[in-house]
Structure 1
Amino acid sequence: MTDEHHYILCEAEQMPIVRINAEDDQISLHRSPRPVYSVLRRTRDVSGPVVIMTHGYKYRPDDAKACPHRHILALNPDGTYFGCPSWPQQLGFGAGFADEGLGIAFGWNAQGPVWAARRRAVEAGRALAGLIRDLRRLNPGRPIHFIGHSMGVELALEALHHSGSGALNRIVSLTGAGYQSRALFALDTPAGRSAEFVNVTSRENDLFDMAYEWLIQPPRRGDRSIGTGLQAPNAVTLQLDCPQTLAHLSRVVQPVGMPQRRICHWSSYTRPGVLRLYNALLRHDDRLCLGCLQNGLPDLPAPRWSRLFVLPRPHALLPFAQKAS
């Protein structure tokens, strides 16, 4: 099936997923010569929110082994990626409901040295801003949300600098690779002040946060990654390996599975139930306001390395001490 036929089929079933790539600071349809705007125009009356989804480091559109449109951003991931979660499916697309909205799978070249990938993320962020402007022009009242993993969050932060007030409604950052000052500066722009920022973190990601700080020069001396937390009027930090946070989310939104590893860069979207949590945050942002999310969370996130160096539970090391059944 060609990409155009895939799109038409999705539109007929009222579950459009449009695949778009950033090429420098411009956008194009994935594997299609058609103008992006002509395709977006056909979705302007689709009911429901727009959800823009993007990946992190090491993905690249059309890479045989690392194309995001065959992997996490696919409605039906390629069978060679065993166990790969489909973001579009888990975020509410593909069931055939009339109000599913518009899903946009946004790809960019995230391969090569980390510093080079980060530079391209900034360029792709400018391309993303152009896409958001087109979507706003076609349907000014429709909510537009963004969800991205790791370095993909840089796209949203950069897009805020090139967008007007009300460009994005809610940004969900999945263990985002970015500095606190960079995020705060973006959230202080007109577009940033009108958006909500959900900063999903986990101490499972500490090693990767440290690597980012080591490889990418910070905007200012002593800056830390947003994995250590983010304090802003329109931001909330959800630490997914914190028992108090998980209990709170289970009460007000959706249960999420407990962490299984001490080090993991992908648990923010592979943990059982976590993508359905984001589905609720993106589709019910009016009911699940930042205040509702904040009320019940710890005052401060756990310090870095607190998960890596925590002592194992005794019964995990001493099975002979357990009560016999």
Structure 2
Amino acid sequence: MARNPVTNRHAADLLLAAWRVNTVSCLLHFIQETVVVVLYLEATRCSGDSSIMPLLKINSGPDGPVLHTGQDSPLGPTLAQALRHGRGPVVIMTHGYKFAPGHGLDCPHQHILSLDPACRSWKAMSWPRALGFGAGQRDEGTGIAFGWPGRGTIWQAYRQAEVAGAALAQLIEMIARIAPDRPLHLLAHSLGARVVLGALERLPEGRVGRAILLSGAEFGSRAAEALSRGAGRTAEIINVTSRENDLFDFLLERLVTPPARGDRSLGHGLPALPRTLTLQLDHPDTLTALACAGFKIERPKARICHWSSYLRPGVFGFYRALLRTPEALPLPQLRAALPAEPDPRWSRILSLPYPETCNSGWRGAAT
């Protein structure tokens, strides 16, 4: 076989050398890709999240939103990957008082905002799974667990909720830039309502579709202010209340200085606007109307309970439908079927009969 006049080597030797180099390169590339996949699967397993499109864990940091894995980890690429490889709504869930990221079993990412809560408390149920995340379907949407430092005194947590609202607004703006066509909704409990309202007033109109506030710990005049600005002017707000929460509403009004003298908490209701709805979850007529629409929610058993709005069996089927199929549950139709006025404060001390028949005139379909 002829030799190469430059290298003085046979052509076969050159082909063999090239084959060896190419083989080694492919092998190294294979090892690299395998390591990446293994590390990703291990991280997913350790986080307790088993969905194909992961539940993102994001916190309110000193300078804005950060990944729960650490402030040095870049949020943008992770967020972009999750949003661009999925379909369906983006639902951001946030907690209330006494939770803080990284604070043991009081970390929300180990509790209500986890797909598989590590905490075994009777109050620890998975919001993401209850909303339909974690099944591994591409059209299930993207769930985002948003944590913020809600521990310390009630005054400290109340101030931190304002800071967290600004961080949540930044996160929603990032989502809008990456996936402008994805519908975005919010779900919050207790002081998380203050976080959500603080975000809405900082965002442009149209950024948020619906927000569900569960036993919201905020004042009515503060809510009215937020709903008169930015995304607060266009988002639909469902204010879920219960007379079971009266004690907590009363304590908020007595402990935290209200924006205006005589101001009441959200348990008293939201400003009456076409895009707002206050739903008293323990009202007999409310439960009857929802049952007629296919959402059977268990009757309240406690006279005092701050967590009933998400622990009562059946409630998340209703919330899931509100956020996943909002067109099937328009607010005007809901409003027409529900009681016009809430029960007065402290009425849970009375034993009220619950009607067994459907008399609301509303026939809907649970989704």
TM-score (norm 1): 0.91
Are the aligned partners of 2:53 and 2:82 in contact in 1 as well (CA < 8 Å)? no
- Offset, 1:83: 6.0
Are the aligned partners of 1:198 and 1:236 in contact in 2 as well (CA < 8 Å)? yes
Aligned pair partner of 1:43 in 82, 97, 103: 82
Does the residue aligned with 2:245 lie in a helix, a strand or coil?
Answer: helix
Aligned pair partner of 1:65 in 95, 99, 105: 105
Distance across 1 between alignment mates of 2:123 and 2:327: 32
Deviation readout 1:209-259 (Å, 9 max, x if unpaired): 000011111111121111011222210011011010011112225111100
Partner of 1:26: 64
Partner of 1:223: 263
Distance across 2 between alignment mates of 1:294 and 1:75: 32
Partner of 1:168: 208
Aligned pair partner of 1:14 in 46, 49, 52: 52
Distance across 1 between alignment mates of 2:99 and 2:327: 33
Deviation readout 1:191-221 (Å, 9 max, x if unpaired): 1111000000000000000000111111111
Deviation readout 1:1-49 (Å, 9 max, x if unpaired): 8898229999995332000011245111112332111111102221000
- Offset, 1:98: 1.9
The answer to whether 1:136 aligns with 2:191 is no
Partner of 1:149: 189
Does the residue aligned with 1:233 lie in a helix, a strand or coil?
Answer: coil
Are the aligned partners of 2:51 and 2:135 in contact in 1 as well (CA < 8 Å)? no
The answer to whether 1:85 aligns with 2:135 is no
Give the share of equivalent positions with the same residue, in percent: 47
Structure 1's unaligned 5+ residue stretches are 314-325
Query: Measured at CA, do residues 5 and 89 of structure 1 come closer, stay the same or move farther in structure 2, by a change above 3 Å?
Result: same
Partner of 2:307: 266
Runs of 4+ in 1 over 4 A off after TM superposition: 1-4, 7-13
The answer to whether 1:281 aligns with 2:322 is yes
Structure 2's unaligned 5+ residue stretches are 1-38, 354-367
Distance across 2 between alignment mates of 1:34 and 1:12: 21
Query: Measured at CA, do residues 43 and 73 of structure 1 come closer, stay the same or move farther in structure 2, by a change above 3 Å?
Result: same
TM-score (norm 2): 0.81
Query: Measured at CA, do residues 170 and 312 of structure 1 come closer, stay the same or move farther in structure 2, by a change above 3 Å?
Result: closer
Higher relative contact order (CA 8 A, sep 6+): 1
1:276-315 to structure 2, matched below 5 A, reads 276-307=317-348, 309-311=349-351
Deviation readout 1:106-142 (Å, 9 max, x if unpaired): 0011011101101000000000000000000011111
Query: Measured at CA, do residues 142 and 4 of structure 1 come closer, stay the same or move farther in structure 2, by a change above 3 Å?
Result: farther
The one-letter code sitting in structure 2 at the alignment partner of 1:178 is E
Tell me how large the CA RMSD over aligned residues is: 2.2
Distance across 1 between alignment mates of 2:260 and 2:229: 19
Greater per-residue helix proportion:
2
What is the number of residues matched between the two proteins? 312
